[in-house]
């Protein structure tokens, strides 16, 4: 299935998740009680605004009785996992961290001055009445659902074709020009539309039936593969032909990707969404495992044109699967009405939620600078190790093997944590830097396995965190922004890494990408720790049941003066706030520390 996930073909971070529903008239993320009303956890009308040092949504009500009930986060029937559903109505699916070391963020009440309609969303029409945070049933439980099974079957065929075309396209451009920079330009053109129009793709996904949109975009992508095959077979193909086709594919991707990401929850429901996302990644990586190897053999044996032909035919499997679905078994999300300001509303919605902001920030740096494997692997194969198309294909296959393993491991996880997103990004960057120093082809190929594993772990965790933290009616726009950041940075990163590889060598290009990814993860980790008043704990003597490295609240001594009665500084007045509580003094710093530590 050619898509941004598929189109960014040679990077290991590809997949999708999600669902978080906000109740109409209540803040998205507010837990709901058995009657569908607002639960006691929702901030009362006179709750004071958050401290400036706290993320949105981290404040507690001023009522001491409310603060005295921290255990209510774990009331029976309510989840503690981020993105877990709550209440019989299925609304308020964002949960809170269950221990002080959990880097996860809950939903937040409306902020002063926030757009009024940004909080009034209908509950997910497809949400089950009493959803659990994660449904048991094994690694492949989502395949029990007929519509998803059809979708996954079509993908399993089309993904092989997509990877074959990705390899063939890169090799074709390299053969026509002999320049890694030209390969980077091709990749950049394919993702330039996402940078320019990605947010509008999310708006379209929110407005129209998603299955109908996918039928149109997938058919168009298949026709582009036919055109490229005809040009190649007729020996009239020029590099500018490939540039234009890559640009057209990118235009289709603008709409296809956020739509396809958001369509998953309509097939399986929020409870099985993390599992389905991981299986999508496993399916995609299986195609990546087979496609490059087959493409390498096919190109060497009969020519590049046949790889494009196979991809064109593979789109039929996707189209047939979509047409065979039972519409009555889908769980359509509420469609956004046509109105002005929907883009601004989507951006405002994301900006008010740290649980969405932090993963998207990491996705930008990792996706833009660390995931330029179409450029890097081609350069390593041809210039560093002097191998042919078969060797190039095997490098992609090795990375796919690690990605497939990572996706299957992710499918067994029932929850996602922000700390997993940060940790996976850090590990990915470090492994990428180590791979840059590989002394020979064999070592480099082996290093691609853990690179793929860390990459897919980061992608599935980030994607699931963002989707599960999004209201259904906003999910298309949220995923449009997510994919804009993930793929839209490619027009910046690919030419830059291609130029670095051509000017200083492929090893320096790979080292640069890994360094940026690792530094970004480290900076985000430090910021989250400071916001949550946490510190890093390293266990030199491992104890059973305790991780070697963890984030814990700072020592109580750090807040001893406040405990002893030292007065805390008054809260500043929140601009635009009319709440008298905004002028009151703050709670003791120890309480603020407890709240922050619990959330991060």
> Nearest-CA neighbor of 466 among 336, 355, 335?
355
Alpha carbon distance 518, 451 (integer Å):
13
Q: At what angle do helices 273-301 and 441-468 cross, to 10 degrees?
A: 150
> Nearest-CA neighbor of 104 among 83, 75, 76?
83
**pLDDT score recorded for residue 321:** 93
> Nearest-CA neighbor of 122 among 95, 89, 83?
89
Alpha carbon distance 349, 118 (integer Å):
6
What percentage of residues in the chain have a pLDDT greater than 90? 23
CB neighbours (10 Å) of residue 532? 27
Residue 216 has pLDDT above 90, yes or no: yes
pLDDT mean over 491-516: 88
Locate 314 and state its tokens.
């593979």
Residue 45 has pLDDT above 90, yes or no: no
Q: What is the CA radius of gyration of the chain?
A: 24
**pLDDT score recorded for residue 535:** 67
**145 CB-near residues (< 8 Å, 6+ apart):** 267, 268, 272, 329
CATH of segment(s) 4-20+146-328+356-531: 1.20.1250.20
The pTM of this model reads 0.59
Highest mean pLDDT among 40-54, 60-74, 224-238, 388-402: 224-238
Residue 30 has pLDDT above 80, yes or no: no
Please check whether residue 305 is in contact with residue 225, taking contact to mean a CB–CB distance below 8 angstroms.
Answer: no
DSSP state of 582: G
Alpha carbon distance 243, 187 (integer Å):
9
536: phi then psi, degrees, rounded to nearest 5 = -85, 130
**542 CB-near residues (< 8 Å, 6+ apart):** 548
Q: CATH 1.20.1250.20 in the chain, residues?
A: 4-20+146-328+356-531
Per DSSP, the chain holds a count of helices (H) and strands (E) of: 19, 2
Secondary structure element (H or E) that encloses residue 142, with its range: none
pLDDT mean over 235-264: 91
Sign, CA torsion 120/196/189/250? positive
423: phi then psi, degrees, rounded to nearest 5 = -65, -40
Secondary structure element (H or E) that encloses residue 550, with its range: strand 549-553
Q: Using one digit for the tens of pLDDT, what is the confidence trace for 105-164? A: 333 333 333 333 333 333 343 333 333 344 555 778 888 889 999 999 998 999 899 889
Alpha carbon distance 184, 454 (integer Å):
23
| Largest Cα span, the chain | 83
Q: Between 118 and 550, whose confidence is greater?
A: 550
**565 CB-near residues (< 8 Å, 6+ apart):** none
Alpha carbon distance 427, 226 (integer Å):
40
**pLDDT score recorded for residue 537:** 66
Residue 562 has pLDDT above 90, yes or no: no
Helices (H), 125-238: 146-177, 180-207, 210-233
């Amino acid at each position: 299935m050619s898509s941004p996930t598929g189109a960014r073909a040679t990077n290991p971070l590809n997949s999708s998740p999600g669902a978080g529903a906000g109740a109409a008239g209540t803040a998205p993320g507010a837990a709901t009680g058995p009657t569908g009303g607002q639960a006691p956890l929702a901030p009362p009308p006179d709750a004071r605004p958050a401290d400036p040092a706290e993320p949105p949504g981290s404040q507690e009500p001023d009522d001491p009785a409310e603060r005295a009930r921290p255990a209510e986060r774990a009331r029976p029937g309510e989840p503690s996992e981020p993105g877990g559903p709550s209440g019989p109505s299925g609304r308020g699916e964002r949960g809170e961290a269950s221990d002080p070391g959990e880097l996860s963020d809950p939903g937040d009440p409306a902020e002063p001055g926030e757009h009024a309609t940004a909080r009034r969303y209908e509950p997910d029409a497809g949400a089950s009445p009493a959803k659990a945070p994660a449904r048991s049933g094994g690694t492949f439980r989502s395949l029990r659902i007929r519509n998803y099974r059809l979708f996954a079957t079509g993908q399993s065929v089309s993904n092989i074709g997509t990877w074959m075309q990705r390899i063939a396209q890169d090799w074709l451009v390299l053969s026509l020009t002999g320049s890694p920079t030209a390969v980077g330009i091709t990749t950049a053109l394919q993702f330039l539309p996402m940078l320019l129009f990605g947010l509008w793709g999310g708006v379209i996904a929110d407005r129209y039936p998603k299955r109908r949109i996918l039928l149109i975009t997938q058919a168009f992508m298949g026709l582009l593969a036919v055109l490229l095959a005809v040009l190649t077979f007729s020996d009239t193909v020029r590099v500018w032909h490939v540039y234009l086709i890559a640009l057209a594919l990118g235009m289709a991707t603008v709409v296809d990707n956020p739509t396809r990401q958001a369509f998953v929850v309509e097939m399986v429901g929020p409870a099985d969404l993390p599992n389905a996302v991981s299986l999508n990644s496993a399916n995609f990586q299986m195609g990546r495992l087979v496609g490059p190897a087959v493409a390498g053999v096919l190109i060497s044996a009969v020519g590049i044109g046949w790889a494009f032909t196979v991809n064109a035919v593979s789109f039929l499997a996707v189209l047939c699967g979509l047409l065979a679905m039972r519409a009555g078994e889908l769980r359509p999300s509420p469609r956004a009405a046509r109105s002005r300001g929907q883009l601004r509303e989507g951006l405002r919605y994301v900006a008010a939620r740290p649980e969405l902001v932090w993963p998207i920030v990491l996705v930008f740096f990792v996706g833009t600078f660390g995931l330029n494997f179409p450029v890097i692997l081609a350069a390593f194969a041809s210039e560093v190790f002097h191998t042919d198309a078969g060797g190039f294909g095997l490098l992609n296959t090795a990375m796919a093997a690690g990605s497939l393993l990572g996706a299957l491991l992710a499918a067994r996880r029932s929850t996602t944590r922000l700390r997993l997103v940060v940790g996976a990004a850090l590990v990915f960057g470090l492994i990428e830097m180590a791979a840059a120093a590989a002394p020979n082809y064999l070592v480099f190929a082996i290093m691609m396995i853990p690179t793929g594993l860390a990459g897919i772990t980061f992608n599935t965790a980030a994607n699931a965190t963002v989707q599960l933290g999004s209201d259904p009616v906003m999910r298309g726009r949220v995923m449009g922004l997510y994919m804009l950041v993930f793929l839209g940075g490619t027009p910046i990163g690919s030419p830059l890494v291609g130029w670095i590889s051509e000017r200083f060598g492929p090893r320096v290009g790979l080292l640069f990408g890994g360094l940026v990814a690792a530094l970004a993860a480290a900076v985000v980790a430090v910021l989250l720790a400071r916001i949550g008043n946490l510190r890093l704990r390293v266990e030199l003597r491992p104890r059973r049941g305790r991780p070697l490295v963890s984030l814990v609240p700072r020592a109580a001594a750090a807040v001893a003066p406040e405990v002893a009665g030292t007065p805390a500084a008054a809260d500043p007045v929140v601009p635009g706030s009319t709440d008298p509580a905004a002028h009151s003094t703050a709670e003791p710093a120890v309480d603020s520390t407890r709240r922050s530590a619990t959330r991060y």
